[in-house]
Structure 1
Amino acid sequence: MKVTISDIAKAANVAKSTVSKVLNDSPKISQETKHRVREIMKQMNYTPSSIATQLARQSSYNIGLLVDMSKESEFLNQFFYNIIGGIESVIVSLKYELTISNVQHSNPEGHFLNRLVLSKRVDGIIANNSVLTEDLSAELVRLQFPFISIGELAGSAGWVDFDNELGGRMLTSHLLEQGYSAVAFIGGEEKEKIFTHRCNGYMQALHQSGFTVHKEWIVNCKANEHEGYQAALKLLQGENPPDSIVCMSNYAAFGVLQAAKELGIHVPSQLGVAAFDEYPLSRYTTPPLTSLNIDTFKLGVASGHLLMDRILYPDNPPRHVLLEPELIQRESTRRNS
């Protein structure tokens, strides 16, 4: 037998109108009452029939996850499937399904705005900020359509991301704690937000510890094996070589390790190497890499929660969530253990 609002009101010893206000997150209801009523909802396994409000607006009970199929990196990696799992873990309990759809920037008729949004085939959208341009974001805001960006996005949009600035501080501080004193940074395009945040964290850690930031030790390049290798060769053979390197990715770090081996530089006694991203190489390199674990399942969970909040409580302001990465220490920096 289906649990109703009346059942919840009776169990909580409140009026039905109070339960309705809790469902709509009314500021007139105290946090204590909201918590008590929501706990009873969980205990009684009460699912708002996407709360009558949604029925009134003909809910599709579908969430769209946008992917740019022209970029293999968007969908042919573990991160993508971890994000899917995280989103699914949130929306399934609310009777929603996930639809994965190609953004199709180049096809106006097949574009997701026409296929999904204007046709009301989905109730909300989640997409990486490489897909959701600022113009598309502005249009979705104008249409008052719920959406969440995975990755920081300018404007009045909700987004979730890992704290890349904190990550830069964590990796650099770790190297300094291990006794390194000349830390370089390799990888990342100069105008990319993710590079800016990570490099800012790197510079903050150096400043906070009283070290000078050497601009020649910050090398912008694609964060891949080849360019990491080339950048490391140049730095390590220069007049003023660093004794440690923070890498934009573990692919770039793999190139750095190759360069060090070729030059006869021992890691970690002569050179410390640390990298963003745990997947896919960090534990398998020689020596294994110290890296930051960026849990993309958590990224999916957080984006799912944010989107459902936007759908169920459209009057609430958009939220921005920064998740904390985890430092995993391995042999590539272990000098003081």
Structure 2
Amino acid sequence: MMKVTISDIAKAANVAKSTVSKVLNDSPKISQDTKRKVRDIMQQMNYIPSSIATGLARQSSLNIGLLVDMSKESEFLNQFFYNIIGGIESVIGPLNYELTLSNVQHDRPEGHFLNRLVRSKRVDGIIANNSVLTEELSIELNRLQFPYISIGEIIPPASWVDFDNVLGGRMLTGHLLEQGYSAIAFIGGQQFETIFTHRCNGFLQALQQAGITVNSNWIVNGQSDEHGGYQAALNLLQSDERPDSIVCMSSYVAFGVLQAAKELGINVPSQLGIAAFDEYPLSRYTTPPLTSLNIDTFSLGVSSGHLLMDRIRNSELPSRSLLLEPELIPRQSTLRNPS
């Protein structure tokens, strides 16, 4: 099959070769209609600019794009997001790279990051959360052979970095078992979210390993916030079969569980053990202080930065997946048997 050239695109679009070049460089002199028409033909003819295809663009932009979906405030209005930025910056800054935050804008084709950043070569690589990198976007980035890293597990051949959430579920549940708890519930998370599935699978594995039969009523899905935790705990703690401990999907869920236990006069940790994913924001300051699983999001940023820079330097590298290990921080909310 012969390689598609700029001349082929110009002929098919009935425009000059110079126009195609200007579209590739996202020149403001070309109308949006012409850009759309030329880009559609490029896609139909599977045209890949040689500079992108070889990963050897003559001129590096010295920019890395961090994609954000501005329609989801929870994604960027939290400490985790700024820790990730700090981690990426600590890797790329010394290499003279700038970090550019960019809104995804799925709903506006012309303002789409593929056109704004990738096809116009304004960035040399992209880092994004797996909630932003849809399968469709991954396929297109793979086709363009454009370097990108997903924070969170994603379908191959993409490279990604994540925390080992299955291990995390095993660690929290194993800690509760060590402290003598045996009737353990799991609260929070939506049933079809990958992160819930992984965390809950770790929880189930630890119980299975200990020979404990899981009570399906004790796995309660819902919003991973204080209200969700409070309501779920009120129901569980007033049921005929009451758990003696709870693994919480987030520290926010745990705050709600603590509140419910206090209202019902249930002592933590002697009558109820509470352990949570995520150390943020105030786990050590609750009453009693909360046993939590620390997920160091700064190191998530560092790892994604290293993976991306390796890929930019060598486009032939095979895809990589990296699972980081969380850290258990035992505190008074579970310590019935302090060692």
Whether these two folds match at TM > 0.5 is yes
Comparing 91-100 and 258-267, the one that deviates more? 91-100
Contact 1:83 1:299 in 2 (8 A): yes
Q: Contact (CA 8 Å) 2:164, 2:325: kept in 1 or not?
A: yes
Question: CA separation of 1:67/1:165 partners in 2, compared to 1, >3 Å: closer, same or farther?
Answer: same
* Structure 1 partner of 2:316: 315
Which residue number in structure 2 is paired with residue 278 of structure 1?
Answer: 279
Q: What's 2:268 paired with?
A: 267
Contact 1:138/1:155 (8 A) holds in 2: no
Give the letter aligned to residue 213 of structure 1.
V
Equivalent position of 2:176 in the other structure: 175
State the partner residue of 2:142. 141
- Name the amino acid aligned to 2:261: A
Matches within 5 A, 1:1-337: 56-337=57-338
C-alpha distance in 2, partners of 1:135/1:151? 16
Q: Please give the alpha-carbon distance, in whole angstroms, between the structure 2 residues aligned to 1:134 and 1:286.
A: 43
Supply the distance in 2 between the matched residues of 1:317 and 1:304 (Cα, whole angstroms): 16
Runs of 4+ in 1 over 6 A off after TM superposition: none
Take 2:76 and 2:227, find their aligned partners in 1: how far apart are those partners? 23
Amino acid in the other structure paired with 1:246 = V
Q: Is contact 2:188–2:223 with CA below 8 Å preserved after alignment? A: yes
User: CA deviation digits over 1:135-186, x for unaligned, max 9?
Assistant: 1111111111100000111131000000000000000000000010100000
Is the CA contact (8 Å cut-off) linking 2:125 and 2:148 kept in structure 1?
yes
Cα RMSD between the aligned structures? 1.1
Q: Return the TM-score normalized by structure 1.
A: 0.83
Q: Which letter does structure 1 place at the counterpart of 2:262?
A: K
Contact 1:134/1:155, CA 8 A, preserved across alignment: no
Is contact 1:274–1:333 with CA below 8 Å preserved after alignment?
Answer: yes
Tell me which amino acid in the other structure corresponds to 1:318.
S
| Distance (whole Å) between structure 2 residues aligned to residue 76 and residue 203 of structure 1 | 32
Percent identity over the alignment? Answer: 79
Would you say the 8 A contact 1:164–1:201 is kept in 2?
Answer: yes
Structure 1: give runs of 5+ residues left out of the alignment.
Answer: 1-52
Distance 1:254 1:57 in 2: 54
Q: Structure 2: give runs of 5+ residues left out of the alignment.
A: 1-53
Q: How many angstroms apart in 2 are the aligned matches of 1:214 and 1:312?
A: 51
Contact 2:55 2:145 in 1 (8 A): no
Q: How far apart, CA to CA, are the structure 1 residues paired with 2:284 and 2:69?
A: 30
Alpha-carbon distance between aligned partners in 1 of 2:228 and 2:314, rounded to the nearest angstrom? 46
Per the TM alignment, residue 56 of structure 1 is displaced from its structure 2 partner at its CA by 5.0
